[in-house]
Chain A
Amino acid sequence: METLLTILTGILVAVATYLILSRNVQKVVLGTAILSHAAHLLIMTMGKGLKSGSVPILGEGPAYVDPLPQALILTSIVISFAVTALLLVIAYRTFQETGTDNLYEWRDINDE
């Protein structure tokens, strides 16, 4: 289970890196969202007993999963949701002002 998750994390990071380096603004925003998912999976693998453990409720089996990473992931999901929403708004506003979503063309923009 941990191995699978780690490989998946790696793939997600690779995809996100590709997207962030692209010249299209929407792809960059999607890239940051995927990047944060990779981090969430990584936190999950750091909790011990993913395979053998049961739900973290007292009295349910002898070994249970570490509940702390899940709390961390929950917090982190909320934050990345907020950041992605804000990023989309800024990207859209910039598109409205400049009329292009190509990052390479933004380089020449200067309002002075």
Chain B
Amino acid sequence: MNNIIVFPMAIPVLAGIILIFFRNNRHVQRWTSFFVMVVNACIALYLLSLIQREGIMRIDFGGWEPPFGILFVADSFSVILVLTTSIVAAVCFIYAFSSAEKNYEQTYFYSFVNFLVAGVNGSFLTGDLFNLYVCFEVMLLASYVLIAFGGKKNQLKESMKYVIINVVSSWFFLVAIAYLYGTVGTLNMAHLSERIAEAGQTPLLTVISMVFLTVFGLKAGLLLYFWLPRSYSVVPTAIAALFGGLLTKVGIYACVRVFTLFFYHEPEITHALIGIMAGLTLIGGSIGAVAYRDIRLIVTYNVVIAVGFILVGLSAGTLEALEGSIYYLVHDMIVKPLLFLIAGTMIAVTGTAKMNDMSGLIRNYPMLGWMFFVVKLSLAGIPPFSGFIGKVLVGQGAIDAGSYILLALAFISSIFVLYSLLRIFLQCFWGETIISTEDEMPMKKGWVIPCALLTAATIALGLGAESLAPYVKDAAETLINPQNYIDAVLYKD
């Protein structure tokens, strides 16, 4: 029965392979991909309710019992993220239906997005450190291809940078895994946690944890985000939305998992350093977000700010703070793609990415303008929308942990987020309308529907935070009590 855990990774892989054979049949490609994501979302929902009843579940591949074999572990944290991933991917597919150029669809666009989602889901679900590395690589290989999609000069240049930076950070990951294996002698995540707790976190292990922090810093854009803004701003909109919603979030997930499951014994070193890095990320991201007049760059710097904010919660490390981080992570996975989609649509209808060349769009496209308004409020953390609950809980956790500077930085950065987006809103949507009704490009339904779906999701997540609460609470409790995870993996059959 536990076999169902492997489906969120297996189904996209199989679908991706099958779609290679239907290269010229657009309808099969589109609807198979969309259907796969819907099925994944249903599986994730079912798993989530199953976990609440039966506790953390696992599947041992080939019947090799832990700690010897590779396994997938489904706890609330992983499955919430799998659910969000599936929803976001489905919505991005809808956007791609009407925006992707025909030659993209014929060059395996849908297959690669399926592989990307498979890698993301695998990273969330795996219970083995080396398997985490492999899933990361599956995701990254797909993203290398997607970032170069279209083959414009700019894209190729940025993709080269992106690939090299990721190859180097994957190398660090491999080195860190090798050191950890040499020191502790196992790679099963629960077993690692148990052994480190027994032997104590020696200075050597703390050094190894720093190597892991470097890796996840590079992948998630925590302080080491210099590669992120330019490479995310050259790709087609639907892909940029997927990247902004999923890729850095996998890095954040891995960082949270590693620093709550293995290296939680020396918080005054590791978690303090995460706090410092998160603070600097918030500052750097805020400066970037107000410094540019290119909409795409402003949007990508907003991704950086969110990374800093989520890791403030990890740095504080209390139950509330972790709950807040999880809420904010889910919120960000929904709202960032929405922001990318709206920005991409604005660029598509005006033909420019420069803020100064747009004006008065709200008269031409009122729906788009109001959705942008909602996103802006949601990202700033205004109550009825989904950003609010995460911000409150992270703030509460930071107060409990006594990290007032981080608290101040986190909330000042919200003001910068609001200011950077308000600038876009005032410049592009308000003001004199320069596109006359005859010249205006008709808004496609395929552009508005995905944006509307995600806007509805952020409102629903904000109003329905209460119904998500038991799952988030369970996820945070597993993170704060690693023993629950260890018991479920090693001592339950």
Contacts and interface: CB of A to CB of B under 8 A. Distances in A.
Nearest to B138: A79
A15 interface: no
B160 A111 contact: no
Contact of B160 (A25, A75, A82): A25
A90 B182 contact: no
A68 B128 CA distance: 13
A3 to B, nearest CB: 14
Interface in A15-45: 20, 25, 28, 32, 35-36, 38-39, 42-43, 45
Given A97-B151, A97-B153, A20 B164 contact: yes
A81 to B, nearest CB: 11
Interface residues of B, number: 29
A72 interface: yes
B181 A43 contact: yes
Interface in A81-101: 82-83, 86-87, 90-91, 93-94, 97-98
B300 interface: no
B401 interface: no
B130 interface: yes
Interface string B328-340: 0000000000000
A10 interface: no
A76 B175 CA distance: 11
B18 interface: no
Contact of B168 (A35, A45, A111, A112): A35
A28 B160 CA distance: 10
Interface stretch (B140-148, B319-327, B383-391): B140-148
B443 interface: no
Nearest to A31: B164
B174 A111 contact: no
B86 to A, nearest CB: 25
A35 B164 CA distance: 11
A86 B144 contact: yes
A69 B167 contact: no
Contacts of A86: 141, 144-145, 163
B168 A43 contact: no
Contacts of A112: 154
B151 A75 contact: no
Given A25-B160, A35-B167, A90-B163, A79 B137 contact: yes
A46 interface: yes
A-B pairs with the 5 shortest C-beta distances? A46-B182, A94-B156, A39-B174, A43-B178, A32-B167
Interface of A: 20, 25, 28, 32, 35-36, 38-39, 42-43, 45-46, 68-69, 72, 75-76, 79, 82-83, 86-87, 90-91, 93-94, 97-98, 106, 109-112
